[in-house]
Amino acid sequence: MILIENLRYRNLAIDQLTIGKGMTSIIGPNGSGKTTLLKLCAGIAEPDAGSILVEGIPPRLTDIGWINEFPDRNFLFDTAADEIASPLRFQHIPQEEIVERSDAIQKQLGISRLSDRSLRELSGGEKVIVALAAAMIQNPRILILDECDSHLDAGSVKAIDRIIRDSRIPAILRSTQDMENAKECDCLIFLNNNRIEYSGTPEEVFCKLKKTPFYPFSWKCRV
């Protein structure tokens, strides 16, 4: 899905990385380059050198859903309904289809009750779910989330993960500080000092992090 080669952007350096389908989590210390890598994959930033391609084309030419850590900073409209529908309106989709797809995604995420609410009145978790609905309504090829789970309780995180996994989005790329969440992914990337230190399955990566704060607590209790 995503192919990165000889990428250089500010302090971030990645010689080669392939991110496939399924759920990929990026973990690492604060300042290790997680958000920077996600922004490059989303096309929000462009590399100073090297290349990053999504299914063979630049990210900015690909349908990508993006949610940052503080989604309310990117909201353009006042109500949840208008914000969710906005990507389709910008594409000049017929109004009947906009209404149909907006209603469907709100029901799927269980947020129909928020439709007419002002975004300023919503909790942090509710804002994340509205941002998720706005990102998913486009049926993106890739969904990218930057530590959005920091605003959600454990139950909400599990519910959102289930919805995302049940969707038809081929690839989900996310950063997280929650190792219990990270261990449920298909592929794990550990960044340190703006370099990829480890990548592979959760089992492969976490076995190298047993003596660090990045090892899942639940795994410490395994027999």
pLDDT in tens, 138-155: 999 999 999 988 877 877
Q: Which residue has the tokens 């799927």?
A: 108
Under 8 Å between Cβ of 146 and 38: yes
Indicate the DSSP class of residue 215.
S
Report phi then psi at 218, rounded to 5: -65, -30
Strand partners, 169: none
Structural domains counted in the chain: 1
Q: pLDDT band for 135, please (50, 70, 90 cuts).
A: very high
Q: Minimum mean pLDDT among 45-49, 148-152, 184-188: which range?
A: 148-152
Under 8 Å between Cβ of 187 and 20: yes
Q: Which residue has the tokens 């920077």?
A: 36
- Rounded to a whole number, what is the largest CA-CA distance in the chain? 57
Q: Which residue has the tokens 């703006």?
A: 194
Indicate the DSSP class of residue 214.
T
79-116 pLDDT, tens digit each: 999 999 999 999 999 999 999 999 999 998 889 999 99
- In b/e form, how buried is each residue of 136-152, taking b as 16+ CB within 10 angstroms? bbbebebbbbbbbbbbb
pLDDT, residue 156, reads: 77
Under 8 Å between Cβ of 215 and 179: yes
Domain span holding position 135: 2-220
Task: Give the CATH number of the domain where residue 28 resides.
Answer: 3.40.50.300
